[in-house]
Each structure stands twice: as C-alpha cells, then as structure tokens.
Amino acid sequence: MIWFSAATVLLACLGLLQCFAGWIAARRFAASPGPQLQRHPPITILRPLCGDEPLLEEALVSCCRQAYPAFQIVFGVQNPSDAALAVVERVKARFPDSDIAVVVDSTLHGQNRKIGNLINMLPSARHQILVISDSDLQLSPDYLERLLVELEKPGTGLVTALYAGFPPPEQGWLLRLGATQINHTFLPGVLVSRMLGRQDNLGSTVMLRRDTLEQAGGLGALAHVLAEDNVLGMSVRDLGLKVGLADTVTLATVPESSFRALWLHELRWTRTIRAVAPISLIASTIQYPLFWAAITVVLGGGALWSIALFIACWMVRAISAREIDRALRHRTGRSQVCVPAWLLPLRDMLSVAEIGASFWIDNVVWRGHSLDATVAAPRAPSVPMTPPQQQAWGGSTAN
C-alpha cells in the first residue's frame, strides 16, 4: 500500500509538471508573431455538414467573412432533408456575392460518413488548394491567410490548426465541463507535443494541395477508418513532407445539452485512440493530477499531507486554466469562457473514467450512427507517444 501511495503521489506531481509545460507552451504560441503572406492563390473550403447544431449559422457565416481575395466554399450534406440545408440557404441569402456551392449526395463510401460526404463534395471544388473545415468551427477573418502562410513554407505538405472549446451563450456548467477538456488538456497537450517534435494532424482543420492529397492515397483511402485525420497526417509524412501548425485558433462549439451526450462524444474520441495506441492512452492518465491526488487522499486515509497535495494540484490546475484562457484571448479575439474551479476535479475524474470505459466497448456513436471502433485506423503511430503527444494524436474533437 505504501508503494502504491508513493506511485500516486509521483503521478500527481508529473501531472503538475505537465500543467506547467502546457501553460508555458500556450503563452509562447500566443506571443509568436506570424509572417505576412506574399501571394494569394485561390482556395476552396470544404465544409461537410450533418444536421443543425448550436451556433451553426455563425460558424458558416465566418467562412464567408474571410479577408482573402479569392476563395470558394463547398457545403455538403448526405440527406436531402438535412436541417443544415435551411441554415445554408440563410447564409447564401446574407452573402449573395460569395462563391458558394452546395452538394446533396447520399452516396456512402464507407463507415466514415464525414469522409463519404467529402468524397461527394470534392468534384465541386474548383481550386488546387483545399481546406477541410469542421462544421462547428468559427473562423477568424485571417484564417485562410494564416493557414496558407504555413503551407507555403518549404517542405510542408499539410497544415492544421488548434481549436478552443466555445459553449453556446447559455454557458451551463455541463458545456463548460466539455470546454475545459479541449482548452486546458487537449490544446496545451498539442502544443507540448509540438515542442517535443511531433507533427500531428488535428483534423478539425486541414489545408493541403490537391496533388498532395492524391499522392497520400486520396479520400477513398480514409473511408473505412475513424481516425482519418491521423491516417492522413501519417500518409503526408510518409511522403517526406511536414505537417505544419498554423498560428491561428478557431472556436469549436461545445453543443452537448446532456451528460449522456457529452459522455458519448468524448468516449468516441477516447475509444478511437484506444484502438490504435492503447498503451499511450493508459499513460495519458498522467494528464489528470487531481485524479491521482484524490486516490492519494483515499490511500492516505485523509492524512493532512495528502489533502495538502490535493489542494496544491487543484490550485495549479485552476491557475493554469486561467492563464491558458488569457493566452488564447490574443489568438481568438474573444474572452474564453471561464471554467469554475470546482469543475476541475470532476473533469479529471470524468476523463479517467472515459479512458477506463473505452476498454469495454467496441462501438461508438457519431451523429446518431453506431460505428465500429475496432477499425479506427489501419496502423498505429510509428513511434511511442508520451502522454502530451497522445493527447495531440487524439484527433479532432470538434465533430
């Protein structure tokens, strides 16, 4: 018991170190100046849609408000009665001069419906530079420019971008619980992993040239896997090209209105990771110091020193979250939603519970469809991942 208690103390302390590392990485990212773009080739934004969702119109409007001279937007749905089509029509009416195409095609190309939708949309894309952007992302006006700056760097084949969780205006505690996982665990984990040399494709944003996509196997190669973003990133790196990270942060709507919806959404992310990197997923529990500190309190019988450790972890998590929010404000142009400190222990417990539950299920739910998670990806990452690297490799949480 003594050795086990010592192990939980060590894990809690390692979690605190990662909190500090994520905080420093976020501050550095926010402070880095971005170079200016020298040329402006035309770009096509591909935005696959599936149903209405909170703040969808605001997200689609942000596509039309890009401060970029020449771009096309392709919206796509697979169901002719999809509620997102009404939102698209309103957006088209608000921006009659925008170059917008709408694709309605029910053809399925595999169990990954997002990729199936994109395969149907791709023939309508007129330009050689493509951006795949998740439906719920709200984009800054210089989004396309910041992505292209990174793609223009020598040897870069694909560019991705960070996203921050943004709850709808009601900002209930459940929505904040979802946002803090993205903003204070996923996002700093991505930045720490970049500092350690990883080049992961986050999936919510992908910019690449059409010929690079074809050389990487095309969209058809991704139709039967769930972790399509990671597979695409690895395929691009196999071509000898880099996966760049743009100096922009998008806002991803956190829409879950019930605990069950939040659980199923996050469990899908976790189960997908478990299918391809189970050891790294287990190791990622180091990211949750409040969980290990709580275990220490139990094992220590409520001793004063164990309670002091728990309080110290709580304070560091709260300060780190506040400082990361402050850093993100410079990139998003908006004040981030403050997460009450009392939610942080619940957040750590829930995250570890999701990791445990992922080892007991073989199916996940995406937009109401049950998918087989055992074919999440055809291959695992080529090198072992540390916990912050695993968090970055976890892929897109935005859809």
pTM value surpassing 0.75: yes
Of the candidate ranges 85-99, 209-223, 311-325, 357-371, the one whose mean pLDDT is the lowest? 357-371
Supply the Cα-derived Rg of the chain in whole angstroms: 21
Give the pLDDT of residue 384. 35
- Average pLDDT of span 26-38: 81
User: Residue 274: pLDDT band by 50, 70, 90 thresholds?
Assistant: confident
- 351 pLDDT more than 80: yes
Fold of the CATH domain 37-255 = Spore Coat Polysaccharide Biosynthesis Protein SpsA; Chain A (3.90.550)
Give the pLDDT of residue 224. 87
- Average pLDDT of span 229-237: 93
74-95 tens-digit pLDDT: 999 999 999 999 999 999 999 9
How far is 80 from 46, CA to CA, in rounded Å? Answer: 18
CB 366 within 8 A of CB 398: no
Give the pLDDT of residue 222. 93
Of the candidate ranges 180-194, 354-368, 375-389, the one whose mean pLDDT is the lowest? 375-389
User: Residue 372: pLDDT band by 50, 70, 90 thresholds?
Assistant: low
Q: What are phi and psi of 333, to 5 degrees?
A: 80, 5
Domain boundaries, the chain: 2-30+260-393, 37-255
**Which one of 80-89, 174-183, 362-371 scores highest in mean pLDDT?**
80-89
Which residue, among 243, 255, 263, has the nearest Cα to 392 in the 3D structure?
243
